[in-house]
């Protein structure tokens, strides 16, 4: 089989002309998506005065590192938040993958008797929610999660959407033959799941892992409601950045009621863009790590009958 592969691959290709067309299409789309990120980068390196005078521009009058210097001065504060986010994201993603894949696998087995019931069980919360106050009451007052890291991790680690996507992946990519043969050999479900199904479902794991990683990295609402000002050392990065942003918009929305106090210490435009770069770059760099798992042709372990 291996010997024939290079030839078959050649025959599996599209015509060269089509390839050029597709390549151009992708390059165009990539550029359209890249330009705004580039603008953010350029503005973060522009001088504040040139942004104030001319607005955002790809060719500012003056470049300056002042915005990054400002952020660097806050290393204690922002640096700590950065580390928090990394820890929370990693732990959260593991929890999320665990809960999502276990549920997805169990629901994917066609002969599981409680399958229908539990599909409804996870489906209802996808649509219906008790609201912020009820959740807050449970999480803060009954479970005692306030001011802890767990408040940032546990309440959002599982999502019905991901469970169902996982279920579909397990149903379609894992042939029943494998599972049946394992069962005939006397393997338990848990062994089948852990040792057979998971290793060949890496595209699914990578996809959901990717979504979870981004969700945790970008989340700030949990911190806003559950971390009080007593635990500033637990703040994640996005919360620190969003609250700097919020401070400005709140001040300006209520400026007529606040008198001579208002506009004094607003972070400038360039610092805002620098903050965006700081929060986006690390996560953008993590993307290729996930990407290799769902690009076709590079998955580990082809399925043989």
Partner 1 sequence: MKKLVSLALVLALALTMTAGIAFADAADPIKLTWAQGTGSTAPIDNAIVLEELNKISREKLNVECDIQYYTGDEIQLSIQSGEVKDMYFTCSWYNNFNVNVSNGLFANIWGKVQEWTPELYAIMSEDIWNLARSTDGGLYAIPVAKDVAPMNFIVYDKEFAENNGFDIPDRISAWSELTDYLVALQASMPEGQYAFTIGGTPAGWDTSFDFIDRTPMIGVIFGAEGEDATKVCCEFDDPTIIDRLHTMREWYTMGLINPDAATLSESSNDSKQHHIKTVQAWPGYDYSPSYGYPCGMTCYSGPFLNTDGVQGAMNAFSITLEDDEERFMAAMKYQELVNTDWEYRNILRWGIEGVHVNYYDFTLEDGTTGKAAMRTDLGSSNYAPWAFSQASYPLAAVECSQDQVDGKIDPPVINQWELYYDAIANEAEISAISGFTFDSSMFTNEYAEISAIKAEYMNEIVTGTVDPDEKLPEMMEKLNAAGLQDIIAEAQRQLDEYLASK
Partner 2 sequence: MSKKSGAARKNNGASSGSSFDNLELFLIHLPTTIWYFIFCYLPMFGIVIAFKDYKVRPGRSFIWNLFVNSKWAGLNNFQGLIKSSYFATMLRNTIVYNIIFIILGIVIPVTLAILFNELYSKKLAKVCQTMMFLPHFLSWVVISYFVYAFLATDRGLVNNIARSLGIVSRDAPKHQWYLDENFWKYFLVFLNQWKGLGYGMVVYMASIAGIDHEMYEAALIDGATKWQQTKFITLPMLRPIISIMFIMSVGNIFRSDFGLFYQATRNSGSLTNITQTIDVYVFKALLERPNINFSSAASLLQSVAGCITIVAANLIVKKIDPEAGMF
Nearer to partner 1, 119 or 243 (CB): 243
User: To the nearest whole angstrom, how small is the minimum distance from the Cβ of residue 63 to partner 2?
Assistant: 17
Quote the crossing angle between the two packed helices 80-108 and 269-294, to the nearest 10°. Answer: 30
Closest by CA position to 119, among listed 132, 130, 134, 108: 108
- Taking the C-alpha atoms of residue 90 and residue 7, their distance in angstroms, rounded to an integer, is 42
Q: Which stretch binds partner 1 (CB under 8 A): 10-18, 83-91, 148-156, 245-253?
A: 245-253
Nearer to partner 1, 23 or 247 (CB): 247
Near partner 1 by CB under 8 A: residue from 4, 8, 229, 296:
229
User: Among all chains, which residue has been given the structure tokens 């309440």?
Assistant: 155
Nearer to partner 1, 22 or 132 (CB): 132
Nearer to partner 2, 83 or 132 (CB): 132
Site string for partner 2, 165-194 (x = CB under 8 A): x--xx-xxx---------xx-x-xxx--x-
Nearer to partner 2, 72 or 303 (CB): 303
- Taking the C-alpha atoms of residue 291 and residue 302, their distance in angstroms, rounded to an integer, is 18
Near partner 2 by CB under 8 A: residue from 63, 75, 83, 129:
129
Q: DSSP character for 138?
A: I
- Taking the C-alpha atoms of residue 109 and residue 171, their distance in angstroms, rounded to an integer, is 8
Nearer to partner 2, 133 or 260 (CB): 133
The reply to whether 263 sits near partner 1 by the rule CB under 8 A is yes
User: Cβ contacts of residue 192 below 8 Å, gap of 6+?
Assistant: 179, 182, 183
Near partner 2 by CB under 8 A: residue from 88, 151, 152, 157:
157
Tell me which residues in 135-194 interact with partner 1 (CB under 8 A).
Answer: 136-137, 140-141
**Torsion angle, CA of 54/57/63/66, rounded to 10 degrees?**
80
Tell me which residues in 231-270 interact with partner 2 (CB under 8 A).
Answer: 245
User: Cβ contacts of residue 305 below 8 Å, gap of 6+?
Assistant: 175, 177
Nearer to partner 2, 127 or 264 (CB): 127
User: To the nearest whole angstrom, how small is the minimum distance from the Cβ of residue 60 to partner 2?
Assistant: 12
Site string for partner 1, 87-116 (x = CB under 8 A): ------------------------------
The reply to whether 54 sits near partner 2 by the rule CB under 8 A is yes
- Taking the C-alpha atoms of residue 241 and residue 42, their distance in angstroms, rounded to an integer, is 19
Nearer to partner 1, 50 or 89 (CB): 50
User: Among all chains, which residue has been given the structure tokens 């803060």?
Assistant: 140
- Taking the C-alpha atoms of residue 100 and residue 160, their distance in angstroms, rounded to an integer, is 8
17: partner contacted, choices partner 1, partner 2, none (Cβ within 5-8 A by kind): none
User: Cβ contacts of residue 235 below 8 Å, gap of 6+?
Assistant: 80, 81, 84, 223, 227
Closest by CA position to 167, among listed 101, 122, 115: 101
Residues found near partner 1 in the complex (CB under 8 A): 49, 52-54, 73-74, 77, 132-133, 136-137, 140-141, 224-225, 228-230, 232, 235, 239-240, 243-244, 246-266, 268
């Amino acid at each position: 089989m291996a010997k024939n592969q290079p030839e078959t691959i050649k025959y599996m290709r599209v015509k060269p002309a089509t390839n050029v067309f597709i390549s151009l299409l992708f390059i165009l789309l990539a550029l359209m998506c890249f330009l705004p990120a580039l603008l953010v980068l350029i503005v973060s390196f522009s001088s504040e005065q040139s942004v104030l005078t001319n607005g955002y521009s790809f060719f500012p009058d003056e470049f300056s590192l002042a915005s990054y210097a400002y952020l660097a001065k806050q290393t204690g504060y922002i640096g700590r938040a950065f580390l928090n986010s990394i820890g929370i994201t990693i732990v959260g993603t593991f929890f999320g993958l665990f809960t999502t894949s276990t549920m997805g696998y169990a629901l994917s087995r066609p002969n599981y008797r409680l399958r229908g019931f539990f599909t409804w069980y996870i489906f209802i919360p996808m649509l219906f929610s008790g609201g912020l106050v009820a959740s807050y009451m449970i999480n803060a007052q009954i479970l005692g999660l306030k001011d802890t890291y767990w408040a940032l991790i546990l309440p959002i680690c599982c999502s019905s959407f991901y469970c169902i996507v996982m279920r579909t992946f397990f149903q379609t990519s894992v042939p029943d033959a494998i599972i049946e043969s394992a069962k005939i050999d006397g393997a338990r479900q848990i062994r089948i799941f852990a040792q057979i199904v998971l290793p060949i479902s890496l595209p699914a794991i990578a996809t959901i892992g990717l979504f979870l990683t981004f969700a945790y990295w970008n989340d700030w609402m949990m911190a806003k409601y559950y971390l009080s000002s007593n635990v500033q050392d637990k703040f994640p990065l996005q919360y620190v950045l969003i609250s700097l942003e919020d401070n400005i918009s709140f001040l300006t929305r209520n400026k007529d009621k606040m008198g001579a106090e208002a506009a004094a210490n607003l972070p400038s435009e360039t610092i805002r863009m620098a903050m965006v770069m700081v929060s986006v770059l690390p996560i953008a760099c993590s993307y290729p790590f996930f990407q290799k798992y769902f690009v076709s042709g590079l998955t580990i372990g082809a399925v043989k009958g």
